[in-house]
Structure 1
Amino acid sequence: MSDALRPHDRHPPARFNAARYCLAENARLRPDKTALVLVGDGTESRLSFAAVDRAVRSIAAGLHSLGLKQGERVMIRMGNEADYVLVYFGALAAGLVALPSSPQLTEGEAAFLMENSGAAAIVVGGGCTVPPEALGGRLLLDAAAIAALKAGPVLPDYADTAADDPAMLIYTSGTTSRPKGVLHAHRAAFGRWPMVEHWIGLTESDVMLHAGTMNWTYTLGVGLSDPWSVGATAVLYNGPRDPAVWPRLIAAYGATLFAAVPTLYRQILKYGDLAQHDLSSLRHGCTAGEPLSVELLEAWTRATAKPLYEALGMSEISTYISSGPTIPVRPGSPGRPQPGRRVAILPVEGEPVPLPAGETGLLAVHRSEPALMLGYWNRPDEEAEVMRGDWFVGGDLARLDSDGYVWFEGRNNDLMKAMGYRVSPNEVEVVLSAHPSVAEVGVAELPVRADVSVICGFVVLQPGAEPDAADLLAWCETRLAAYKRPREIRFLDTLPRTANGKVQRKRLVEALG
């Protein structure tokens, strides 16, 4: 991080470019240091900070030469390849708006993103296609075109953007049947410093191994932007998705930090053969994307003797609640608001007056937070729904204890009704997941008659365990109030999940077939 941009400033300067923030000082101070290691199945490629800086500014110059103007959207439709990273930062360097997307999108889904965003250019990688009829005059750039841009002239300097200028448009689930775009400013990169210091604990000497795919903001942020903001090395993987590979990569690359979702940590414990690998370089693991169970936390720390730090966040603000090197772990809680964040619990209904400790309400972030989104793309009505006075509320139900720790109670729209009470599925899932026969669990309402639903646990069993619904119900009987207990247990081979590994509670009943 540049000496001119210290975290205690809280806000970036008025003129601020996210790509410059991550790369310019590194290219000047440590040009030959490895910035990115991309590991495949028996392959490896490395890029220094000088090489990344040059490629990014060449791509930026090339995008300008093609007639793209500041603020226009560049959609990236590629797999886990180095060019994904370079094009993403190249768009930011040019003052354009990067739209990262998943290669798993169908052509129809990709066409919706192109049309909805008004993308001016589409960058495609190997195996990713765009229907000609969907292009509508947009620029289509393939691997050969990007190679030509990288070999071309270099932009003399990063675009002179304002901190509030749009930088990234990401699509996430909305309240309708179509995804909605979340628009972030360049300042969002600077707004990540509380997590860099207090959740991840990054320094220049670190090696960050991230298990996510490049289209995910968790990877683009924690896996790339955050390490580069302090001059650390990023390691990403584009080989087969085998849980056993991660301990090997930690040992092989001397990773000091590892980031993944809880589900992957669980799979590593099951399939990773940790005892066969030297994990002495690892300082701690970071986890986000879904709640971390007490059972998994204890299992990981017992098996590795390494801390595991959880964070809670969302697309609109990234992670803002966490444990970490400066925030002691409290099992069952994702942690406390990171220093520098303005966080409160607001009533579900009524005036946006922060609630006292112990009361459950909507988790809220003050609108002055530099990491907060600019807004939803062309959806002013939904923006109005999430702003309560000076506070952004994303739908997470939580309470603060007397020490400031957050206790997550699920999503407001995931709440179940039982015997006249509101019940958080998260609370029931935590209890069921602690049973020794349970590998994974999701909880949702199960319709049993036209007008009656009951709380149901959808369970994936541990290998060799026998399905015994009565035993699981008895387990809950001594651990949950009567109105919170599941009335039914259903067994599944797998739980429906999003591409980023989150359990889709609304699809659990569908999974029964």
Structure 2
Amino acid sequence: MNLARYCLTAAAPDPEKTALEVIGPGGTVLEQWRYGALTDAVLSVAAGLSATGLDRGDRVLLRIGHSSDFPLLFFGAIAGGYVPVPTSPQLTSTETSAILADSGARLVLHDGKTGVPETAGARLLGPADISGLKQAAPASFADTDREDPAFLIYTSGTSGTPKGVLHAHRAAAARRPMYQGWYGMRARDRLLHAGAFNWTYTLGVGLMDPWANGATSIVYDGPRDPELWPDVITASRATLFAAVPSLYRRILKYGTVSPQSFPDLRHGLTAGEALSAGLHEDWKERSGRELYEALGMSEISTYLSSGPETPVRPGSPGKPQAGRKVAILRETGDEAGFAATNEAGLLAVHRDEPGLMLGYWNRPQETNAAFRGDWFLTGDRARGDDDGYYWYEGRADDLMNAFGYRVAPEEVERVLAGDPQIQEVAVTAVPARDGVSLITAFVVPVDPTAFDADRLAAHAAANLAEYKRPKDYKVLKELPRTPSGKLRRTALRQRPGP
């Protein structure tokens, strides 16, 4: 099994069908790649990389911005049996140098625009070299095994040093439960993803899955102001649109959205952070279309979702996708301790899950520590209801301690978000003095001039036990997030006092 071969040939699409379309402002088509030409270009890159003297399994660090070169080089490396290491173009040279050193990459592909790492013993290939790779005579797909390393992606590192997540060639085919369990994917679909290429959400949802189904992937290269996205979705003729919940929220706030907007769109897809029931309701009411959520992580891809075959239950990411072995384990107890229905516990995936990573790069102890018996602990807390829906209860390491009680920030956030004056809210425990932390709510009001903290506190008092209520409310213009849109609670905890 070769991951690149699977993605480009599994659906046996017409070589003349459009696989990748790069569009600019107004929907102008900047690039159009048909399946035949795309496959040839990927295999040319594979041949070009082979000519550099790489050995099977060598890592190749990608310092490539948001352009078609990214998928060509990413899949080209995999096609040749090498291991691409995608990185965000927003990383500094210092940050990239740390990833290069940890990954041991022998080659760095640089587009001339992103920060260049201290290459040490690695060889640096610039824009002219990349052009040469794409012009090499196409090779054949490397005869790799399903368990061979395919790509190495580094987590965002919001709470510490980024660590590498190593995936096998089986990872793409393991995404098949998502095709109908989340997307309702069809070969005639045109999927537009709002994320950056280096993010696993984009690599999988924006590229691997559309191509494995013979569909078309659409990439937007232009200004990313939220009010522009409705026109981008319309002009691209996207039938599926994928983004994080915070972008949907901003589109509704700043853009013009109605049931007449983007006429080709069947429904929206969202992942990367929890989708609130209120945002789901607002999107569905304003756009007239459904919004399907999925829960996953870099180590596995998504495994819980709603979709055309799994009706949305607002506030829940859905049910385990068909064939997934997912469980909720008791937070304390023996290895076989499963949580009861409606009991919050640790969300886990069985080690037999084909989409599970090979391990954390060069961190065998951390890999082993992530398992309880045969179950990989995702780090998320959840509970399951009588109908098989799962309810996200936040990260296990985000739990706050209040007077000896453990409090999930998401529970408090859901209540506070029910106050109409709140646009966004995040809750975390902020150190006040040695040994004392206060549950603090950071709010982005709909109208900052009219925000009433006492009213919000009264709303919390009416809906939360006393020990769960925030002891302080701070107003922000926006919540701190990673480039991929995830909330950075650590940054909130580290904010200086008034």
Report the TM-score, using the length of structure 1 for normalisation: 0.93
Q: Which amino acid aligns with 1:233?
A: T
Structure 1: gaps of 5 or more residues: 1-15
Q: Tell me how large the CA RMSD over aligned residues is.
A: 1.6
Change (3 A) 1:490 1:30: same
Look up the SS of the partner of 1:476 in the other structure: helix
Task: Report Cα offsets for 1:342-392 as digits up to 9, x if no partner.
Answer: 000112222122222121110000000000000000111111211111110
Q: Does 1:24 align with 2:9?
A: yes
Q: Does 1:114 align with 2:100?
A: yes
Residue matched to 2:227: 244
Equivalent pair of 2:427/2:441 in contact (CA under 8 Å): yes
Matched residues, number: 494
Give 1:159-170 correspondences, 5 Å limit.
159-170=142-153
The CA deviation at 1:464 is 5.1
Q: Does 1:210 align with 2:193?
A: yes
Q: How far apart, in 2, do the equivalents of 1:253 and 1:327 lie?
A: 27
Q: How far apart, in 1, do the equivalents of 2:124 and 2:222 lie?
A: 26
Equivalent pair of 2:149/2:167 in contact (CA under 8 Å): yes
Q: 2:409 aligns with which of 425, 428, 434?
A: 425
Q: How far apart, in 2, do the equivalents of 1:294 and 1:29 lie?
A: 38
Q: Which moved more, 1:308-317 or 1:347-356?
A: 347-356
Q: How far apart, in 2, do the equivalents of 1:361 and 1:25 lie?
A: 38
Residue matched to 2:470: 486
Q: Which moved more, 1:121-130 or 1:447-456?
A: 447-456
The CA deviation at 1:440 is 1.3
Look up the SS of the partner of 1:457 in the other structure: strand
Residue matched to 1:97: 83
Q: Which moved more, 1:143-152 or 1:368-377?
A: 143-152
Residue matched to 1:270: 253
Q: How far apart, in 2, do the equivalents of 1:453 and 1:73 lie?
A: 43
Residue matched to 1:254: 237
Give 1:371-410 correspondences, 5 Å limit.
371-410=355-394
Q: How far apart, in 2, do the equivalents of 1:141 and 1:340 lie?
A: 42
Residue matched to 1:8: none
Equivalent pair of 2:259/2:286 in contact (CA under 8 Å): no
Q: How far apart, in 1, do the equivalents of 2:227 and 2:339 lie?
A: 45
Q: Which moved more, 1:223-232 or 1:170-179?
A: 170-179
Look up the SS of the partner of 2:485 in the other structure: coil
After the TM superposition, list the runs of 4 or more consecutive aligned residues in structure 1 that deviate by more than 3 angstroms.
173-177, 275-278
Residue matched to 1:13: none
Q: How far apart, in 2, do the equivalents of 1:457 and 1:91 lie?
A: 45
The CA deviation at 1:271 is 1.2
Q: 2:304 aligns with which of 301, 312, 321?
A: 321
The CA deviation at 1:64 is 0.5
Look up the SS of the partner of 1:81 in the other structure: coil
Q: 2:45 aligns with which of 49, 59, 63?
A: 59
Q: 1:436 aligns with which of 410, 416, 420?
A: 420
Residue matched to 1:447: 431
Q: Which moved more, 1:190-199 or 1:273-282?
A: 273-282
Equivalent pair of 1:357/1:401 in contact (CA under 8 Å): yes
Task: Report Cα offsets for 1:262-320 as digits up to 9, x if no partner.
Answer: 00000000111124964221111000011101110000000011000011111111111
Q: Does 1:182 align with 2:182?
A: no
Look up the SS of the partner of 2:186 in the other structure: coil
Residue matched to 1:467: 451
Q: 1:123 aligns with which of 103, 109, 117?
A: 109
The CA deviation at 1:173 is 4.7
Q: Which amino acid aligns with 1:38?
A: V
Residue matched to 1:230: 213
Q: 2:397 aligns with which of 407, 413, 436?
A: 413
Q: How far apart, in 1, do the equivalents of 2:423 and 2:460 lie?
A: 16
